[in-house]
Amino acid sequence: MSGYVLAIDQGTTSSRAILFDGDLGIAATAQEEFPQHFPRSGWVEHDPEDLWRTTVATCRAAIAKAGIEVSDIAGIGITNQRETTVVWDRKTGKAVHNAIVWQDRRTAELCQHLKAAGHEETVRRKTGLLLDPYFSGTKVGWILDNVEGARERAERGDLAFGTVDSFLLWRLTGGRVHATDATNASRTLLYDITEQRWRGSLADLLRVPKSMLPVVMDSAAEFGVTDPDILGAAIPVLGIAGDQQAATVGQACFRPGMMKSTYGTGCFALLNTGDRPVLSKNRLLTTIAYRLDGKPAYALEGSIFIAGAAVQWLRDELGIIENAAESGPLADSADPEQDVYLVPAFTGLGAPWWDAEARGVITGLTRGSGRAEFARAALESVCYQTRDLLEAMRRDWGAAQETVLRVDGGMVASDWTMQRLADLLNAPVDRPTILETTALGAAWLAGMKAGLYPDADGFGERWALERRFEPSMATAERDRKYRGWADAVRRTLSDQK
């Protein structure tokens, strides 16, 4: 079909814009990195103006590269770094503080206080989340309590809160629309995922005025129309989803039991559980995978904070490699007789441990351990952590069928890593032909709403496999290696120290 969809992929380290044509092919792409700010240990911030500036610049660049008329764009889909929190003035559109990034740990003490007061189980039942600094709600409260006059302005209704999608939508529509979608709302600690509404009791608990909260819409909806001055014409915004949910959509994981895992800075695995939320008994998250036509689909999610960042650590801090592509061949050359384990708890451990105080550990070093063993340990750490998630999901989900893992993200380009992943999971790993699944998911949501793309079933039929990695490691070897990993994790946990 004729026409294009513009996908905005606003990530943790860069903003990207990808134009998809009527056949879901990539017509043009543009990307721009922006600065990271670390004002204190454990704090991570972005300047919201950087997010906005790079978003607009990449959209304009992609349109120019494609050589199309702006009027040819049927709609915009937005996907975003989730949980990152922005509070801005409704009159000026200016943020009152830097965006607090999802990686930020400054509210850890507050979360511990709320847990000690017995609130976590209530929060978990309503939101599917745990009390952790990862999520948006405590970040909002911190901004209101630490920016002079912010709480009073918020109480008067002068301030708005949103995740990055909501902030971009506000700016794109010239301040006319304050909205988000259900997937982003489900990451705030403020949204009841069963009743599909903001919970006043949760807002009161975290001291967030309800007047700050955006309207929650479907993931494919008429969110508003862009100001013509921004991109050269008015374009409808028709799709929004948080990045991991957008990747779930882009991988066409529409049926219960389907699972995807994205390997970027961190790793995020989602298992579609259908139309009912499954509350985890293994400290996984229950979240909204997407919401279409008012009907939510739920997922179990496991979050690993350090995945590709472990390879960056090898490159930037240790100087073991010069670029990420070297890590797989180097790992392949490691001594098979050495069992070196890296638990990359550089910013704590995510699911299923949720130990904010854990810190990284290396075990099994010998005098002969060198660059290759470190590279293998870093790549295997991602595989082991994924197995931790998969084992927990199987216990929660209770489904007996074989799991096939659909993968995407920068790390999946490594054949060695994907084969080792299949070996350590004892499950097939499917790598698709289109690896830009996050942007693809956002584009499909918008294009489907515009009538340009097929429905979920039709989109699923177009998903194409590039390569399947089948497990080949002997069971005894797999189990022995995993026992070593479990021992290394035990040494990492803060309550073991």
How many Cα neighbours within 13 Å face the side chain of 209? 18
Task: Clarify whether residues 78 and 221 are in a common domain.
Answer: yes
Tokens for 273, please give them: 């559980």
By percentage, how much of the chain surpasses pLDDT 90?
74
pTM equals: 0.88
Task: Clarify whether residues 317 and 346 are in a common domain.
Answer: yes
Q: What is the structure's pLDDT at 392?
A: 87
* Residue 448 within a domain: no
* Residue 416 within a domain: yes
Tokens for 460, please give them: 């699923």
Question: Could you tell me which residues come within 8 angstroms of residue 15 by beta carbon, excluding any fewer than 6 positions away?
Answer: 8, 9, 31, 32, 34, 51, 54, 55, 57, 58
Q: Which domain CATH number covers 53?
A: 3.30.420.40
By percentage, how much of the chain surpasses pLDDT 70?
98
Task: Clarify whether residues 38 and 159 are in a common domain.
Answer: yes
Q: Based on the structure, what is the number of domains in the chain? A: 2
Q: Give pLDDT tens digits for 404-423.
A: 889 998 889 899 999 999 99
Task: Clarify whether residues 233 and 306 are in a common domain.
Answer: no
* Containing structural domain, residue 14: 4-244
Is residue 496 over pLDDT 70?
no
- Is residue 431 within 8 Å of residue 414, measured between CB atoms? no
Average pLDDT over residues 217-232: 96
Q: Give pLDDT tens digits for 9-65.
A: 999 888 999 999 999 999 999 999 898 899 998 898 999 999 999 999 999 999 999
Mean pLDDT of the chain: 92
Task: Clarify whether residues 167 and 301 are in a common domain.
Answer: no
* Residue 151 within a domain: yes
Q: What is the structure's pLDDT at 2?
A: 64
Q: Give pLDDT tens digits for 274-298.
A: 998 999 888 899 999 999 999 999 9
Average pLDDT over residues 234-254: 95
Angle at 414 (CA atoms; ends 408, 419), nearest 5 degrees: 90
* Cα dist from 438 to 99, 240, 246, 257, 281, whole Å: 22, 11, 5, 20, 28
Task: Clarify whether residues 232 and 272 are in a common domain.
Answer: no
Per the model's pLDDT, the better-predicted residue between 399 and 353 turns out to be 353
Q: Give pLDDT tens digits for 115-126.
A: 999 999 999 999
* Residue 447 within a domain: no
* Domain edge (last residue) among 181, 216, 244: 244
Average pLDDT over residues 378-385: 94
pLDDT band per the 50, 70, 90 thresholds, residue 497: very low
Q: What is the structure's pLDDT at 161?
A: 97
For residue 446, the one-letter residue type is A
